[in-house]
């Protein structure tokens, strides 16, 4: 019987240690881990197995672990517009690598930080 990984993530985060196995997990559902199993981030995070197509979920739900997951070469930059909103505190780390700078909706505080760092 095939496991419903998304349902496990959504409904059984409290029993995460009982059902999660890095080798058995279907990593096509890795976005569910980012959204529903944040408290177990250090147990499930694997940059080689995570489906980077779902980079948005990392930015949106795992910003507190930004330094662990951010990889300028693996991040799906299509989702760069979400970085100012969800990963603002890390703007000096990701902004230099963003290829879509003109499409970002930056706040005055973010612009000031970038100007002070001479990145803008």
Tell me how crowded residue 43 is: count the other CB atoms within 10 A of its CB. 13
Would you kindly state where each structural domain of the chain is located, as residue ranges?
5-116
3-state secondary structure of 99: coil
Q: What is the pLDDT along the chain (120 residues), one digit of tens a residue?
A: 457 777 888 788 888 899 899 999 999 999 999 999 999 999 999 999 999 999 999 999 999 999 999 999 999 999 999 999 999 999 999 999 997 888 888 999 999 999 999 988
| pTM (global) more than 0.95 | no
Sign of CA dihedral 110, 112, 114, 120: positive
Report pLDDT for 2.
54
């Amino acid at each position: 019987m095939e496991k419903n990984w998304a349902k496990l993530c959504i409904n059984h985060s409290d029993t995460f240690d009982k059902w999660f196995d890095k080798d058995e997990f279907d990593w096509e559902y890795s976005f569910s881990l980012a959204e529903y199993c944040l408290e177990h981030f250090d147990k499930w995070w694997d940059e080689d197995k995570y489906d980077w197509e779902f980079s948005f979920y990392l930015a949106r739900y795992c910003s507190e672990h930004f330094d662990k997951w951010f990889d300028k070469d693996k991040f799906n930059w299509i989702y760069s517009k979400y970085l100012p909103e969800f990963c603002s505190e890390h703007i000096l780390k990701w902004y230099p690598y963003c290829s879509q700078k003109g499409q970002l909706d930056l706040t005055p505080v973010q612009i000031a930080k970038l100007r002070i760092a001479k990145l803008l």
